[in-house]
Structure 1
C-alpha cells in the first residue's frame, strides 16, 4: 500500500512538473479566449435566414439528441463513409437522430462555420509564431515567406485557366503555398540561410506572384470566376460546411499543433541567435527548414479552407507574447487559443457589419491588422527588423 501511495505521489509530482510552465497569465488567456469563442460562436449561429435567439442557439448546440448519438457525431466529423465505418466497428447506431429544425440548422449549416473559424485562427496564429521565431522578426507573419502569394496564384490559375480542377481547389491552394516556400528557401540559400535573406526572398516571391495574380484577372470575362477568386484571395468563411471541417481538423489536431508544441524548445534556442544555437549543438538549417515547413503546413491548412485571411499571424503571436512572456511553450499554446478568438470575433463582425451582405472575414482582419502593423512598425527599432 505504501508503495502504491509513493508511486501515486511521484506521478503527481511529475504531472505538476510537466505543466508547471502554465502560469496564471497563460491560464487566464486560455479561459478568456474560450469565453470569447463561445460567445462569438453563439452569436454567429443565431443569425441567418432563419433567426433564433441566443437561448435557442445554445440549446441547439447542446441538444442531447446530438451529444448522446456518437455515431451521428462521427459521421459529421469524419464523413459518411469513414465515420459510418468507425461507428459500425464499435457497434454504434448510424441512424440519423430525430432532431428539431433549429438543431438541424445549427449543426448542419451554422456550427461548421464556427469550427472552421477556430481551426483557421489556430493554424494562422501558430504559423505566425513560428515564422517570427525563425526570422527573429516580430513583424513577420505566415505570409512573409510568400505562402499567401503562392496560394493565391494557384487559386487564380485553377479558376481562370485550369477550370476542370476546381474540385481540388483546397489542395491546390496548399500546394501553391508550399511551392512558393520552396522558391523562397532556394533564393535565400547561399551556403545556408539567415533571417534577413529569408525575408527579402519572401518579398521578391510575393511581389512577382502578386503581379501574376493581377495579370490573370485580365484573362477572364466570367464575373462569377472573378468573384470567386476575390473571395479566396481576401479570405472568406461564407458557405463553409463540414467538408471544410474534415479537411482542416486532422491536419490541425495530428500535425500542426502538436509538432509546433514539440518544437517550442528549438524555437527558444533559435531566438538566441545562430552562433549560440550552433554552440549548443543545434543543426540550425535543418531545424529552421523543418519548423518553417510546419508553419507552411499550418498556413496552407488555413488557406485551403478559408482563403487568405490576413494579419492574424502577425497580431496574435505578438499580443500573446506581451501577455505571457517570450517562452515559446507559452506563446504557442496561447496562440492556439487566442487565434480562434480573433477569427471568430472578426467573422461575427464581417457577418453583421453590413446588413444583408456578408463581408469576407479577411477584410475585417485587414482593417484591424493594418493599424496594428503600423503601430508595431513605429515602435520597432530599425536594427531589430
Structure 2
C-alpha cells in the first residue's frame, strides 16, 4: 500500500513539474503574438476594408452557423459536403459577403499555414538536436530542407502541367503534381538525412561530423536546385521555384492548410508521446542502452518523425531558414532541456516567430514605401535568425554537443 501511495505521489510531482510559470508565460506570450499577427493579417491587404469590417468578417455568423462552410474550408468541397451530409448538416451553398470571402479564403489561410509550418519546423529542429545531441542541428543545417526542396522543385519543374491518374474501384482520381508535394518532400528529406548520416558515420557519429556532413549535402543539393532553373522554360514556374527555395507564404490557401495539417499533427503527437525517449537520448548512448533503449532504432524512428514534420512545412511554405534552429534554443533558454516542456514550448514559439515574420514580409513595403510588393518570409527569418544565432555564439563559451 505504501509503495502504491509513493508511486502516485511521484506521478503527481512529475505532472506538477511540467507546468511551471516560465512555460506558461512563454505559451501565453507566444499565443498573444499569434493572435495579434492574425488580426493584423486580416485587417490589411490589397482589398480595402476597415479594421472593424475585417474583424467582423472573421466572426461572420454566416460562417460559424453553417458547419458545411467550415467543413469545405478544412476538408475541401467534395469531402466537406460528404462529412456535413453524414453528420446531418445541410450541404446548401451559403452566400458570403465580399469581405468575408476575402478574409476567409485569402487572409486567414495564410495565418493557419504559418502556424502549422512554424510548429512543424520547431518540432523538427528540436528532435534533430536531441537525436544528434547537437544544438547546431536543424532540418536546414542537416540537409533535410535542401533534400526536400530539391524533390519539390523536381516535381514543380519536371512535371509542370502533368497529371497523374489514380485508378479506383469506383472510377479514377486525377491528381495535380502539387498534391504529391508532401510525399516528394518527405522522400527528399529522408534521402538527404540518410546521406548525411552515412557520410558522418565512422564507427559512430559525432556532433562535428554530422554538422559538416550536413553542410556538404546541403551545398550539393542547393547547387542541384539552381541547376534545375535552367530546365524551366516557363517564367511562372521559375518564380514559383524561387519562392520555394527562399520560403514564401504568398498565395497560400486552404489547399495548403489541408496539405500541411496531417503531417504536422502526426509529428506533433508523436513528439509529445516520445518526449521521455528524447530526454534519455540526451544522456548519451551508453546510458540509454543501460536503461534498455534500442538506441539505433529509436534514433531512426525519431528522425523519421522529424523528417515528416519538416516535409509538411516545406511542402506548403518552401525552405524557411533558421526557424528549426533558433526556436528550440529560445525555448531551452526559458524552460530548460526537459523535452516534455521543450516540445510544448516549441509548439507555441514556432508559430509566433513565423506569423510575426510573415506580417513583416507582407506589410514592410506597403507600410514603409507604399508599394504592394511582398518579401518572402524566409528572407525575414534569415535576417532575424542570423543575428540571433551570432548572439548565441558570443554569449555561450561553447556550442555544439548537448
TM-score by length of 2: 0.86
Structure 2 residue 204 is the aligned partner of structure 1 residue 204? no
* 2:136 and 2:400 in contact (8 A); partners too: no
State how far apart, in whole Å, the 1-side matches of 2:290 and 2:210 are.
22
| Deviation of 1:165 (Å) | 4.7
* 1:192 and 1:285 in contact (8 A); partners too: no
Structure 2 residue 26 is the aligned partner of structure 1 residue 29? yes
Structure 2 segments unaligned to the other structure (5+ residues)? 1-7, 164-175, 367-371
* 1:193 and 1:285 in contact (8 A); partners too: no
Matches within 5 A, 1:51-70: 51-70=48-67
- Give the aligned partner of residue 173 of structure 2: none
- CA 1:284–1:381: 2 relative to 1, 3 Å: farther
Structure 2 residue 189 is the aligned partner of structure 1 residue 177? yes
* 2:320 and 2:378 in contact (8 A); partners too: yes
SS, match of residue 334 in structure 2: helix
- CA 1:89–1:277: 2 relative to 1, 3 Å: same
User: Among 335, 343, 354, which residue is 1:332 paired with?
Assistant: 343
Backbone CA RMSD of aligned residues: 2.2
* 1:132 and 1:138 in contact (8 A); partners too: yes
- Give the aligned partner of residue 366 of structure 1: 382
1:80-117 C-alpha deviation (Å, 9 max, x unpaired): 12221111111011223343221121112211111001
- Give the aligned partner of residue 331 of structure 2: 320
State how far apart, in whole Å, the 2-side matches of 1:65 and 1:16 are.
47
How many residues align structurally? 373
* 2:393 and 2:399 in contact (8 A); partners too: no
- Give the aligned partner of residue 177 of structure 2: 168
Structure 1 segments unaligned to the other structure (5+ residues)? 1-10
- Give the aligned partner of residue 249 of structure 1: 261
| Deviation of 1:285 (Å) | 1.0
1:30-70 C-alpha deviation (Å, 9 max, x unpaired): 11111111111111111222122332222211222212222
- CA 1:288–1:342: 2 relative to 1, 3 Å: same
Matches within 5 A, 1:111-260: 111-165=108-162, 167-169=176-178, 170-171=181-182, 172-190=184-202, 192-253=204-265, 255-260=266-271
1:165-190 C-alpha deviation (Å, 9 max, x unpaired): 58324232332222212322333345
SS, match of residue 136 in structure 1: coil
* 1:158 and 1:165 in contact (8 A); partners too: no
- Give the aligned partner of residue 287 of structure 1: 298
| Deviation of 1:191 (Å) | 5.1
- CA 1:376–1:249: 2 relative to 1, 3 Å: same
